[in-house]
Amino acid sequence: MHFELQKQDSWSSARRGVVHTRRGTIQTPAFMPVGTFGAVRTLDLADLQSLNPDIILGNTYHLMLRPGVEVFNHFGGIHGFIGWEKPVLTDSGGYQIFCLPHHRTITEEGARFRSYHDGRFFMLSPEKSIEVQTAIGSDIMMVLDQCIESTADINATRKAMEITHRWALRSLEARSDATQALFAIVQGGVDEALRYESVDFLTQHPFDGFAIGGLAVGETKREREDFTELVAARLPQNKPRYLMGVGTPIDLLEAVRRGVDMFDCVIPTMYAERGKVFTSQGKKNVLPVANRLSDQPLDPECECSTCRQYSLGYLNHLSKCEEPTGWRLLALHNQHYYQHLMRQIRNAIETDSFESLYRDLTRQWTAPLSPRRADINSSVNYY
């Protein structure tokens, strides 16, 4: 795998690039739909192909529990199992371990936890995480890290950062297939010195890319943006940068402005379940009774199949009835919105108009939706 930097924005740190992988290219900046269990929730393969993302994301923790390594070995990896031919990135499971504070024990060896599925105990070590990701056959693997609250005290933050560094080197040593890219994860909370120390340590080793971890776990929006900028500016120009688990459209725009290339988040699907969508006019709630008689589309400027075929009134009805079809149609729209946003951003960087796009979209999103982290944590078992 290698990263090709094609254009650097003259107004900001935004950059246009291409990640070359063994299963094709990823145009960046890129948003990866989250397919935790090997499927983007409510969407089938035809839906994904219509959205045309360059890459999707799966999760090692969940896929290790179900269906398990034996299944992936039988099917020859995740691509043949789910019918997806393009690249797949797998998270290592570190964030899911973080979300199980009463059901796991972390030691130097790794994280011992109780399965939410059947109550059995598992040990997820750096080596085990790489073993599972190798069986899954993901094109980009993540090292196992220890994620903690970004607001933890300095001693706890340093301890988590240092164990993440040691686990990263063990993950690198455990990799058996060099065609599977491996990204390290920068930690250090909201301490500037620790973040610099983490970047400087990890960039001394031959990782294929770098993720900015340990954000969106308790800090303020301003802190998240400041530390994203701080870390991205210190990372190598010739390697992709991935901000994990972020976020709303305005969050993505702000991170691109600060030099980030890749993103993932459950928000497009999770909000669809709650009747919330992103449109060219801003955030919209489908559920209010005022929408009951509307024969207008969700977004008159959107070309997705939901907006072309269904009225807001019908989508209001499906959502109020908690009909799964409504969830699916809104999820399809939100995922389309995110992919369209990434295309807009890439085009703006290419044409030296990113500053104009940034100002237009930030005016449009003057009151962006900022979910409580607990809302996302509560969904960890199925996203």
Q: What is the pLDDT of residues 234-253, one digit of tens each?
A: 999 999 999 999 999 999 99
Residue 93 has pLDDT above 50, yes or no: yes
My answer on whether 179 and 81 are in the same domain is yes
* pTM listed for this prediction: 0.93
Q: What integer is the mean pLDDT of 87-98?
A: 86
Catalytic residue among 139, 208, 251, 264: 264
Q: What's the average model confidence in pLDDT over 43-47?
A: 97
For 323-356, write each residue's pLDDT tens digit. 999 999 999 999 999 999 999 999 999 999 999 9
Same domain for 345 and 327: yes
91 domain residue, yes or no: yes
Taking alpha carbons only, the member of 138, 160, 227 closest to residue 190 is: 227
**Residue at 94: amino acid letter:** G
65, 191: one domain: yes
- Residue 322 counted as domain residue: yes
233 in a structural domain:
yes
Does residue 218 share a domain with residue 342? Answer: no
Asked, for residue 378, whether it belongs to a domain, the answer is no
pLDDT value of position 253 = 98
Check which CATH number belongs to the domain holding 243 and give it. Answer: 3.20.20.105
Owning domain of residue 340: 274-359
Same domain, 237 and 290: no
What's the pLDDT band for 95 if we cut at 50, 70, 90?
confident
Report the pLDDT value the prediction gives residue 104, as an integer from 0 to 100.
78
Instruction: Please compute the mean of the pLDDT values over residues 179-207 and round it to a whole number.
Output: 98
Question: Does residue 91 have an active-site annotation?
Answer: yes
Whether residues 65 and 207 share a domain: the answer is: yes
> What does the pLDDT read at residue 102?
67
The residue that leads in pLDDT, 216 or 27, is: 27
- Percentage of the chain with pLDDT > 70? 95
- What is the distance between the alpha carbons of residues 183 and 209, in angstroms, rounded to a whole number? 5
Confidence of residue 374 (pLDDT cuts 50, 70, 90): very low
Q: How many domains does the chain have?
A: 2
pLDDT value of position 113: 84
Query: Do 255 and 278 lie in a common domain?
Result: no
Specify whether 264 is catalytic: yes
With cut-offs at 50, 70 and 90, classify the pLDDT of residue 119: confident
Q: Is there a single domain that holds both residue 309 and residue 280?
A: yes
Q: How confident is the model at residue 98 (pLDDT cuts 50, 70, 90)?
A: confident
- Structural domain includes residue 369: no
Is the pLDDT at 371 greater than 60? The verdict is no
Q: Rounded distance, CA 339 to CA 66, Å?
A: 29
Q: Is the pLDDT reported for residue 261 higher than 90?
A: yes
- Of 91, 145, 191, 299, the active-site residue reads 91
Stretch 375-382: mean pLDDT, rounded?
A: 34
Separation of alpha carbons 191 and 289, rounded Å: 46
Q: Write down which residue in 234, 265, 296 finishes a domain.
A: 265
Instruction: Give the pLDDT band (50/70/90) at residue 381.
Output: very low
Residue 216 pLDDT grade (very low, low, confident, very high; cuts 50, 70, 90): confident
State mean pLDDT over 129-155: 95
Q: What is the pLDDT of residues 275-330, one digit of tens each?
A: 999 999 899 999 999 999 999 999 999 999 999 999 999 999 999 999 999 999 99
Q: CA-CA distance, 290 to 85, in Å (whole number)?
A: 43
Rounded CA-CA distance 261/349 in Å is: 12
What pLDDT is recorded for position 238?
Answer: 98
pLDDT at residue 97, as a whole number: 78
**How far is 71 from 88, CA to CA, in rounded Å?**
17
Mark which of 215, 243, 265 sits at the end of a domain: 265
In a shared domain, residues 328 and 179: no
**Is position 176 within any domain?**
yes
pLDDT digits (tens, 9 = 90+) for 49-87: 999 999 999 999 999 999 999 999 999 999 999 999 999
Based on the fold, state whether residues 215 and 168 are members of the same structural domain. yes
Q: Is residue 29 part of a domain?
A: yes
Mean pLDDT over 166-179 rounds to: 97
Judged against a pLDDT cut of 70, whether residue 379 lies above it is answered with no
**Going by C-beta distance under 8 Å and a sequence separation of 6 or more, which residues neighbour residue 12?**
257, 258, 354, 355, 358
Residues 182 and 48 both lie in one domain: yes
57 and 177 fall within a common domain: yes
Confirm whether 370 is domain-assigned: no
Last residue of a domain, one of 265, 297, 317: 265
Model confidence band, residue 125 (pLDDT cutoffs 50, 70, 90) = very high
Look over the chain and give the mean of its residue pLDDT values, rounded to a whole number: 93
